[in-house]
Chain A
Amino acid sequence: MSDFPVIPVGDVLLVSIQGELHDALAVRLQESVTTAVQRRSARGVIIDISAVDMVDSYLGRILAEIAGCSRLLGADTVVVGMRPAVAITLVELGLTLPELRTARTVTDAAAVLGVAMPITDTASSGADRRGAR
């Protein structure tokens, strides 16, 4: 049912958003992640947005709602890999999303969540590649 790889790693779900996310897909993302949190008894969710070139108020709200739903189910959410241009734009837009926790890399996010992260190479590679450019 999902267009998004929701990868369980230990107690955490890794979600990598790829490419253009139109509104209906964003809603499906929210359902996929929330369902997976319950099914996998996840303690944390890490959402990698390093491939996302624009976050508007709609997508920002979806990310905040995913974090809110996961929180109700007992899992914390950390968003990683936001591009600098996206961060600048969000602040000017007035959308600072204080309720959304962020980290630079998947490894940092795992530390924020206080969980062991046995495998991080694949999911953090997007952010790392970008940093190296």
Chain B
Amino acid sequence: MTTGPTAAALRLQIRSDTDLSLVRQQVRAKAQEAGFGLVQQTKVVTAASELARNTLVHGGGGEMELAEVAQGGTRGLRLSFIDSGPGMADVDQALTDGYTSGNGLGLGLGGARRLVQDFQIDTRPGAGTTVTITAWAQSLGSAVHR
């Protein structure tokens, strides 16, 4: 049932803080559709909010791509946050709690990674940043503990 036109990736602009609200609403709606429980929904929506804010604040804006995925009988969401901003030289440092290049708490990137099952980051100085996360309807542990 996830094949066909409805499974096409959805793209949302991230240009303002009202776009962050739209990202949260869309991710919540798709997570509900995919059968995520309340805690799993809340985790993926919160991770999306952190990453979308990074795209806006550190990446100078960009977009989110949302796709439904399935593995075995489990449904999930794959979200990519794409910007063409300054990128990062040291990903490990950026993932460290408390590290921030802005005025945040420095929990966004590392915190988001703990909330989802899979977390990939592709960035180079001057070449923008793409963070891709995958969350499944059933909890399989976080991207950090595995």
A residues near B, CB below 8 A?
20, 22-24, 53-58, 60-61, 83-86, 88-89, 92-95
Minimal beta-carbon separation of A80 from chain B (angstroms):
18
Please name 18 pairs of A and B residues whose Cβ atoms are closer than 8 Å in the assembled complex, sorted by A. Answer: A22-B17, A53-B28, A53-B42, A54-B42, A54-B45, A57-B50, A57-B107, A57-B111, A58-B49, A83-B42, A85-B38, A85-B43, A88-B42, A89-B39, A89-B46, A93-B46, A93-B114, A94-B107
Closest chain B residue to A60 by CB distance? B105
Which residues of chain B from 100 to 129 have any CB-CB distance to chain A below 8 Å in the complex? Answer: 104-105, 107-108, 110-112, 114-115
Collect the chain A residues with CB atoms within 8 Å of residue B17's CB: 22-24
Minimal beta-carbon separation of B117 from chain A (angstroms):
12
Closest chain A residue to B49 by CB distance? A56
Closest chain B residue to A59 by CB distance? B49
Instruction: Report the Cα distance A85→B44, complex, angstroms.
Output: 11
In the complex, are the beta carbons of A20 and B39 less than 8 A apart? no
Collect the chain A residues with CB atoms within 8 Å of residue B93's CB: none
Which residues of chain B from 40 to 74 have any CB-CB distance to chain A below 8 Å in the complex? Answer: 41-43, 45-46, 49-50, 53
Collect the chain B residues with CB atoms within 8 Å of residue A23's CB: 17, 20
The residue that A20 contacts in the complex, of B25, B41, B46, with Cβ under 8 A, is B25
Closest chain B residue to A90 by CB distance? B46
Given contacts A54-B46, A94-B111, A95-B105, 10 further A-B contacts (CB under 8 A): A23-B17, A24-B17, A54-B49, A58-B49, A85-B41, A88-B42, A88-B43, A89-B42, A94-B110, A95-B111
Closest chain A residue to B25 by CB distance? A20
Known: A53-B28, A57-B50, A86-B42. A95 touches B107 (CB 8 A): yes
Interface of A is mostly: helix
The residue that B104 contacts in the complex, of A24, A57, A83, A84, with Cβ under 8 A, is A57
Instruction: Report the Cα distance A23→B49, complex, angstroms.
Output: 11
In the complex, are the beta carbons of B42 and A85 less than 8 A apart? yes
The residue that B39 contacts in the complex, of A55, A56, A88, A94, with Cβ under 8 A, is A88
In the complex, are the beta carbons of A57 and B108 less than 8 A apart? yes
Instruction: Report the Cα distance A2→B32, complex, angstroms.
Output: 32
Collect the chain B residues with CB atoms within 8 Å of residue A22's CB: 17-18, 20-21
